[in-house]
Amino acid sequence: EDQYAAAPEADEGIPKTCYCGSEPVVKTSYAPKNPYRRYFSCNNVDDGECHIWKWWDVAMQEELRETQIQLRMLKEINSLRVTR
């Protein structure tokens, strides 16, 4: 029996739920390779199980891209309504 769900709500954009069901938090990297770079993680990360981890800037870019797609679709739907 699996303790955690197969995947959080979505892999694209801002993570809203960790694999364990917890809400992801934003943390800061202090590694020399990525100093002060922000990322999403889970407060339960030290329990040895699988948890969400994603760079904050990557999540924001994905979220913006998805929002732009949705906006384009809404504009197209609205233009179709006007032409009827």
Q: What Rg do the C-alpha atoms of the chain give, in angstroms?
A: 18
Give the global pTM.
0.75
Q: Is the pLDDT of residue 53 over 80?
A: yes
- 13-48 pLDDT, tens digit each: 999 999 999 999 999 999 999 999 999 999 998 898
DSSP-assigned states of every residue in 10-41 = -SSSS--S-TTSPPPEEEE---TTSTT-EEEE
Cβ contacts of 10 within 8 Å, gap of 6 or more: 16
- Residue-level pLDDT at 10: 54
Domain boundaries, the chain: 1-84
CA 25 to chain centre: 11
